Structure 1
Amino acid sequence: MLHQPTLSAKPITRITVMQGQALVSAGPRVELTTVLGSCVSTCLFDPEIELGGMNHFLLAEPHSSQKAAEVDEHYGVYLMEVLINQMLAHGASKTRLRAHLYGGANLHANMARIGSANAEFARTFLQHERIPLIKEDLGGTNARRVDFRPASGQVRCRMVENDMAPAPQPIHRPSAASGEVELF
């Protein structure tokens, strides 16, 4: 017998998490999604209140010569705090949070290993904050698509063509910065 969907069945609402974003939801029909290359996404989940969130960061931390006031939303050090604080603001308990990490690929063999640095930063951050890491799919040389159901904590991660990963967006640099190299 073929199952016929009822008219009351609501479709899944897919929300794309872009570079520099952190989003939280308790919607049972919400799916947060992103595509990652060297970037990393953290998926946090509080199973007791069925609340979850995802971030998407470009780089782990600003260079040590950069002032704290110059940090922007593309850094993991900023987005990890934003995600945790959003979860807490919506009723999550830090002691119940569980994490998944995805991304951190090194897409180009001859370039800096930004993906590896991002992955190591995320693992270390979670350890420091005492948030258990339940699952990870980090590293390698392939881009990934991550689909996260924040209300249930379910995650699907699959490899995709590297050209599907978003191009890194330039990070805002203060006008006082000088040099011949434009950093991305």
Structure 2
Amino acid sequence: MLEPLPDTERHNHATVLQGQFRVSASPVDEFGTVLGSCVATCLHDPVASLGGMNHFLLPKPLSETERGEVDVHYGVYLMEMLINAMLAQGGRKQHMRAHLYGGANLHRGMERIGSANARFAREFLQREGITLAREDLGGSAARRLDFRPASGLVRCRRLAAVDALDAEAAVSLRPILPRTEPRGEVELF
């Protein structure tokens, strides 16, 4: 379990949002995110004292886009980017250890997106030969995750259903903007 840094010690907290990844070897960096059906992969190379986290929304696109563009919200992209960024900073795949979090199925009667995300992440790591050291996947609760990439320490807390709904409601309370005619590209979430 990850203990908070003492207030006297400086630390840098960065939030990893859907479609993002971050890598660091700094002992004062800490990455955090909140997960529902999404999955976050925390990779750590203990030899290089290096780690990273990603946060993906869906495993992979159902089909390729007409223009061959990459959508960063997909696990197939974010897993590759995370591994490659760690390799670029001196990590070695054979030393990497993975932790997987999230993959909840928050709403009954809806497609089991969380289960599909979890299955994809496990299979991806197995194909890449990366050891899965720990997982906290599935269920119906959202999770709050904090990860220290240089040490590999992780704290995962399950959120009460009310907390998860409050977090969803806060996102939906954004100001309503006047409707305009559609133009340009459309991005679906």
> Normalising by the residue count of structure 2, what TM-score does the alignment of the two structures yield?
0.82
Q: Could you say which residue in structure 1 is the equivalent of 2:32?
A: 33
The aligned residue for residue 135 of structure 2 is 136
CA distances 1:114-164 after superposition (whole Å, capped 9, x unpaired): 000000000000000000000000000000001001010000001112233
**3-state SS in 2 of match to 1:146:** strand
- In the TM superposition, what is the alpha-carbon distance from 1:167 to its structure 2 partner? 6.0
* Distance in structure 2 (CA, Å) of the matches to 1:62 and 1:68: 14
Q: Which ranges of structure 2 fall in alignment gaps of 5 or more residues?
A: 1-5, 173-183
Relative to the length of structure 1, the TM-score reads 0.84
* Structure 2 equivalent of residue 158 of structure 1: 157
Aligned residue type for 1:121:
F
Q: Deviations over 1:45-75 (max 9, x none)?
A: 0001100000000000000364581331000
Aligned residue in 2 for 1:171: none
Separation in 2 of the partners of 1:61 and 1:24?
22
Runs (4+) of structure 1 moved beyond 4 Å?
A: 65-68, 165-168
State the percentage of identical aligned residues. Answer: 61
Distance 1:65 1:89, change over 3 A: closer
Question: Could you say which residue in structure 1 is the equivalent of 2:23?
Answer: 24
Alignment partner, residue 88 of structure 1: 87
**Per-residue CA shift, 1:26-50, capped at 9, x if unaligned?**
1111110000000000000000110
Q: Is the 8 A contact 1:62 1:71 kept in 2?
A: no
Give per-residue Cα distances to partners, 1:103-124, cap 9 Å, x unaligned.
0000111211000000000000
Q: Secondary structure at the match of 1:52?
A: strand
Q: What's the counterpart of residue 113 of structure 1? A: 112
**Which consecutive unaligned segments of at least 5 residues does structure 1 have?**
1-5, 169-173
Which AA in structure 2 matches 1:87?
M
Deviation at 1:12, TM superposition (A): 2.0
